[in-house]
Structure 1
Amino acid sequence: MQAGEPSITARAAAAFRAAHQRLEGGRVFSDPLALRILGPDADNPVLAAAFAPEREPIRLGVAARARFAEDAVAAAVERGVRQVVMLGAGLDTYGCRAPQQAAGLRVFEVDHPATQEWKRDRLAAAGIAIPPSLTFAPVDFERQGLADGLAAAGFDPGRPAFFGWLGVVPYLTRAAVLDTLGFIAALPGGSGVVFDYGEPPGALPPEQRAVHEARAAWAAEAGEPFLSHFTPEEIASLAGDLGLTVAEDIRYGELTARYGRGAADRSAEAGATGDAGAHLIHAVRPPVR
């Protein structure tokens, strides 16, 4: 990871989202800004691999993950939630595409200050406007907590909020994960979160374990080692203890089959979508009745 830039894993996810727009026409997840914000990263040899024809199953997996998350955000906004937080936003473009017709909607992007400065330069270079509804919440977690960073950006803890938290949890310690979930669980009823997590490699069958180990080795070499794993039963129990109810927990492979349609047969094998024990979870804090 280079100082002041999104992590290589975040940039790789952005590359796959952009490649999905160009090669599959965004049929699983439409993001008209993805190619523009990727910009010169499209020429990076590591990231350019996302555009290779044989990477279609991974592209569809990344696109399905984004679709699942934004569908959950849209449902929360439809219920009246007017605060959306993207944790570890990287090159995500939701804040620039958020539905302006949702009166009073505010989107907060949380990331390291230097990373956000880099992203704002990238947005300017791409000619992507920052709408009034988007607020950058720079947080250096070595010096500041999430609650303080959001409060400084104008976040109201007295109102419900929905959080998108993709591609982050596996790289955090268990304590950091639970602290963040605890913060979300302490918000008013109707709040919620979508995040991804990985199962312990020892719980996986041999072929999936091999895929997991290869991905973990790549991430560690990039300076972003996996630090936490959870079983579905464990994460549901931990979330419940905090006051969150799991609305859905779905494996990546099943997620791609849900949204990918014609490509589902090509993505069925465990490693094709980067599945290997990876899950997406949608958890909510039930309203007080």
Structure 2
Amino acid sequence: MRNGEPSRTAWSAARYRAAHQLLEEGSIFRDPLAVQILNEPQADLLADAPRSGMRLFIAARTRFAEDAIAAAVARGVRELVILGAGLDTFAYRNPHPQLRVTEVDHPDTQAWKRARLAETGIAVPGGVRYAGVDFEHESLNVTLDGPAFFLWLGVVPYLTSDGFAETLSFVASGEGNEVVFDYAQSPERMAPGRRAALEARAARVAKLGEPWLTYFEPDEIDAELRGHGFTEIEDLGPSALAARYFGRPDVPPETPGGHVLHARRQASPGQASPRQASPASDAADRI
């Protein structure tokens, strides 16, 4: 991010979510506030039609995450922390009245979002909290009552490996904690066409001051999560995402690309331990 400016990639991700509501009529996930919070001409959003790959991936990762949140709430989780919230609207259409939502983001991006909420008439529920953090220089201080769900979408590629490990350590600091995040495999493993597309996008976001810094392979992520005490891991790559959300069972299982995963630490019976003060990571923002 550039100093004094909100994240441009947060805006880009929001446009993809909004375009999905118009172009695919929210067939993968529905967000009645996605278009409203942007307050842009629909013709501009419809112009994104050719970029279907990234748009559908973002729609699928959001659906995957919100399904996982619903399952966590059914298990008794009452805290949701959205890391790198950007223009995400879940807190303002939250269907779970018992779930408290905390949004964490860079102060410049958070101020921009709160102004857009006010300008577009989107009400802020009383249970929503904000934590403005410059991840490069500050630690996160949030008190959480019991196991928490961490929504961490579109952030990991912008972290250094140390920043990822530090943030994951905080996420894993409580029994029963859960997390959904996405990550990208190295373009070196991809077919020429996919590799060129990924490298072109990486170049675009780098020009915005938000370069991709970290790639992972599935076995690396699995080992990292298990090393932090996560025992239940569901990792969907391009093949599984295509079959589940796009009605395409024909994508080869080993196809490299973007992944989204859900990981959970087992909770002890009756466990509820407050936590606070995460280590600082050197995050940029999100896809």
Code of the residue aligned with 1:135 in structure 2: it is: R
Q: 1:5 to 1:14 in 2, by over 3 A?
A: farther
Q: Are the structure 2 counterparts of residues 269 and 118 from structure 1 closer, same or farther at C-alpha, using a change threshold of 3 Å? A: farther
Answering whether residue 94 of structure 2 is matched by residue 98 of structure 1, we say: yes
**The one of 82, 88, 97 aligned to 2:84:** 88
Looking at structure 2, the residues matched to 3 and 128 of structure 1 have their Cα atoms a distance apart, in angstroms, of 27
Q: Separation in 2 of the partners of 1:170 and 1:114? A: 20
- Structure 1 residue identity aligned to 2:38: L
Corresponding residue pairs, total: 268
Shift of 1:207: 3.5
**1:227 and 1:30 mapped to 2: Cα distance?**
31
The residue that corresponds to 2:274 in the other structure is: none
Partner of 1:173: 160
Which residue of 59, 64, 75 corresponds with 1:79? 75
1:182 aligned to 2:176? no
Higher normalized helix content (fraction of residues): 1
Match of 2:181 among 151, 173, 195: 195
1:196-235 matches, within 5 Å, as 196-235=182-221
Distance 1:74 1:4, change over 3 A: farther
Return closer, same or farther for 1:127/1:252 CA change in 2, 3 Å cut-off: farther
Deviation at 1:114, TM superposition (A): 2.0
Higher relative contact order (CA 8 A, sep 6+): 2
The residue number in structure 1 matching 2:14 is: 14
For the structure 1 residues 227 and 236, does the alpha-carbon distance in structure 2 shift closer, same or farther, using more than 3 Å as the test?
A: same
Paired residues of 1:60 and 1:256 also in contact (CA < 8 A): no
* Cα offset, 1:56, TM superposition: 3.5
**1:122-174: per-residue Cα shift (whole Å, max 9, x none)?**
0001100000121111112233212x2x2xxxx22x51000110111000000
Q: Which residue of 2 aligns with 1:287?
A: 267
Distance in 2 between the 1:135 and 1:3 partners?
A: 24
Distance of 1:100 and 1:210 partners within structure 2 = 41
> Structure 1 counterpart of 2:116, which letter?
R
Q: Which range moved further: 195-204 or 117-126? A: 195-204
Residue pair 1:252, 1:279 contacting (<8 A) in 2 also: yes
Report the CA distance shift for 1:37/1:61 in structure 2 as closer, same or farther (over 3 A). same
Letter in 1 for 2:268: V
After superposition, the CA RMSD in angstroms is 2.4
CA contact (8 A) 2:22 2:46 kept: no
Matches within 5 A, 1:1-289: 1=1, 3-40=3-40, 48=44, 51-102=47-98, 105-146=99-140, 148=141, 150=142, 155-156=143-144, 159-187=146-174, 189-261=175-247, 264=248, 277-288=257-268
CA contact (8 A) 1:219 1:225 kept: yes
TM-score of the superposed pair, with normalisation by structure 1: 0.84
Of all paired residues, the percent bearing the same amino acid is 50
TM-score where L is the length of structure 2: 0.85
Moved beyond 6 Å, runs of 4+: none
Alignment deviations for residues 145-204 of structure 1 (CA, whole Å, 9 cap, x no partner)? 12x2x2xxxx22x510001101110000001111111111111x2211000111123333
Unpaired runs of at least 5, structure 2: 270-287
